Every structure is written in C-alpha cells, then in structure tokens.
Copies of this chain bind each other. A is one copy, B any other.
Amino acid sequence: MANTPKKVTIKDIARIAEVSPTTVSLVLNNKKGVGKETRYRILRVASELKYTPNLMARSLAKSHSDIIALTILQARNALFMEIADGAAEAFNENGYSIMMASTYDDPDLETKELASARARGVDGFLITSAQVESPGIWELVEDGVPLVSVLRRVPGLSNLNYIMEDSFKGGYLAAEHLIKLGHKRIGIVKGTPNTTTGIGRFEGAVAAMKDNRVPVDDKLIAPGEFARGAAYLATLAMLHLPDKERPTAIYACNDDMAMGVYEATLDTGLRVPEDMALVGFNNAPYTSLPTVALTTIDVQAHEMGRLGAERLIDIINKKRGHTKPLQVIMEPKLIVRNSCGARKEDEPAS
C-alpha cells in the first residue's frame, strides 16, 4: 500500500484509549452503545494519531467497497468522456470512487476487464462500451450484479438496465434531413458493427432512404469503425467513383468520422457544403465551433451518464433490482448548422 510510515490502526487507538477495538469501531462508525466520556476520548486519540481507516480492510469485512467500475471505449474519445463526466459527478456526490476500464471495443478485452473489476470487489458497473456479443455482461446480469449500460444496449438481454440513445431514430433523422434537401445519392460511413449504436445509426438511415425511395447503393456504404482515419480513406474511395455514382452527401455515424469525411472532401478539391453535404452524429463539443458548424445529432451524452450513474447507485443502495428494470430512451435531436447548406436554426449557446 501507499504508506511507508507505519500505519496507525484501530488497535493502536484501542490500546492508547484503553478500550477494546470493538468500542473504537463503534465510535468511528457513529453507532450507539458508547458513553459520552469514552466516545470523546477515543475521538481525541484518533485525531491525535491522525488515524485514517483502511478502506480495503473495511470493504473485506463489510462486503462492499463503495467503488464502481466504469467501462469506456477509450479515454481519448470525446463522447465517452462526456458520458463519464456526467457519471463522475453523480458518483462523487454520493461518495463512490471510480475504477475506470477501457475496452477499446474489443469483446475479449471487455470480458477480461469486467471480470477483473468484479474480482476487485466493485459494488456495481456502469458500462458505456457494451458489445453486442457480451458474455461478460451476460454473466454479471445473470448473477444479479448491479449494472447499468449507458449509450448502448445488449440485444437479447431483456432484463438489462440501460440508458441509451435512439440510434435508429437518430440515423433516420440524419438521412431524412439530407433527403429533404434533395439529395439522391447519399453515402454512409458506418461505425463498428459489433455495437448497437453502430448498427442502429446505420439502419435508421437506410430505413429513411427506403421510406423515401432513395436508392441504397452498396458502393456508397463504407465501414468506418468509428475512426476518423478509416472514414477518411472510405470517403476518398467514394469520391473517386465515376461522376454519376459519386455521392452528393455523406452521413457519418459519428462526428469523428465526419471530420475524416470533411478532410477527404477538401483534399479531393470539393467544398462543404457546396459540393458535398455532411451530417455527423454525437454533437461533440468541437462540432459547435463556428467554423466547423457540423450538422449533427445531439443525444445528451452528459445527461445520460448522469442518469445512469444515479440509477446504478440507487440499485446498489436499495437493491430494488428485482423490480422492473429501468429502460430510458433519450430523445435524439437534430442540430442543424452549416455543413449541409441548410438554414441555421437554433444554435444552442455553448
């Protein structure tokens, strides 16, 4: 542990205050059954010795740790950090420490991190990076471990607590927006296929296109893996198609990829929005910058994290996990800025 100077324990206090360790524990936990006299004496000794309890030992004895596990995709990803920020607020306010684990959207790594956090004795899990195939989450849920999934869902796990975006509707809105602006050839850069967001954001757009009889062309659908670099390359390929097949608009399943599309477009000598309309997804902070002004979808990531954390704490405290699971679907909102050439509507103050 992090304490080179010999750590003062409850026994030291007991010895000096001439009482039993039990009594000291009683006092330190504000329980009754100790006289005023002794109580003060113990408190005084404790403060003189600068006693701080060993939370690890306490956790072992009490069988709960006041630590939660927070899994994210990666710390560098703005969306997940926005969520984590909201969650951290709530956890801090309620005295929880946060154990952070990155999964990098790798199912095996997710399983591993989940197991490790559990062995560490965390009280519950807030999972923002859930995979579609997720044995680790299945096991936790089966064992009744307090768990809330934020942003994503795990298909098939009907009793999962989650707070997520409406990916499908978001995707639908995005594509519909482009269609209404008159675009017939719409390219789509997809996210990772092993996540509900990756799937939903894509399928929603396809649905909008089908509903409006806009052709869905395989050549205009590219994998982007939620990564800017991949989106850049995918876009370059699309833009090198023959004139007639080239897209006049592109929908990227997240903002990072939209930036990749943006770059590729410019590098090809085209302008946004004049030659190419562009829609992203997430409303990442930087997209609201006046010079970027990316049309996008707001899913209230910060608020989602917060709600998820509050709920998790709730479940841990009252163990009312046996009542029906909470399943909130946040309303996605299209934020229209400049990247599509549409009129600028309500730009929220930053």
A residues sitting closer than 8 Å to B (CB atoms) are: 1-5, 52-57, 59-60, 63-65, 67, 70, 74-76, 78, 81-82, 84-85, 88, 92, 97-102, 115-125, 140, 143-146, 228-229, 232, 259, 262-263, 266, 285-286, 289-292, 302, 350
> How many Å lie between the Cα of A53 and that of B121 in the bound state?
10
A62 to B, closest residue via Cβ: B1
Contacting pair B75 A2 (CB below 8 A): no
Among B57, B119, B286, contact of A55 (Cβ-Cβ < 8 Å): B119
- Asked if B3 and A52 sit within 8 Å, CB to CB, the answer is no
- Say yes or no: B75 contacts A88, CB within 8 Å: yes
Across-interface contacts of A82 in B (CB, < 8 A): 75-76
Q: Which residues of B contact A53 (CB under 8 A)?
A: 119
Which listed residue (B67, B125, B263, B292) contacts A350, Cβ 8 A? B263
In Å, the complex CA distance between A4 and B78 comes to 35
Closest chain B CB from A58 CB (angstroms):
9
Residue pair A2, B124 in contact (C-beta under 8 Å): yes
Residue in B closest to A266 when the chains form the complex, CB atoms: B290
The residues of B that contact A54 with a CB separation of less than 8 Å are 60, 119, 121
Q: Which residues from chain B contact A5 at a C-beta distance below 8 Å?
A: 143-144
State which of B81, B84, B145, B290 has its C-beta within 8 Å of the C-beta of A3.
Answer: B145
Whether the Cβ atoms of A1 and B65 lie closer than 8 Å is yes
Chain B nearest CB, measured from A265 CB (Å): 9
Task: Check A263–B290 contact: CB distance below 8 A.
Answer: yes
Q: Which residues of B contact A98 (CB under 8 A)?
A: 99-101
* Residues in B whose Cβ lies below 8 Å from that of A74: 85
| Pick from B85, B116, B259, B285: contact of A289, CB under 8 Å | B259
Contact of A143 among B3, B75, B117, B290 (CB under 8 A): B3
**CB <8 Å contact, B55 and A120:** yes
- Checking B76, B125, B263, B266 against A2 with a beta-carbon cut-off of 8 angstroms, the contacting residue is B125
Q: Which residues of the other chain, B, contact A262 by a CB distance below 8 angstroms?
A: 289-291
> Does B81 contact A4, Cβ atoms closer than 8 Å?
no
Contact pick for A118, options B2, B120, B232, CB 8 Å: B2
Additional pairs, 15, CB under 8 Å, beyond known A2-B121, A60-B60? A1-B59, A1-B63, A3-B143, A52-B118, A54-B60, A56-B56, A56-B65, A76-B85, A85-B102, A98-B100, A228-B350, A229-B350, A263-B350, A286-B289, A291-B291
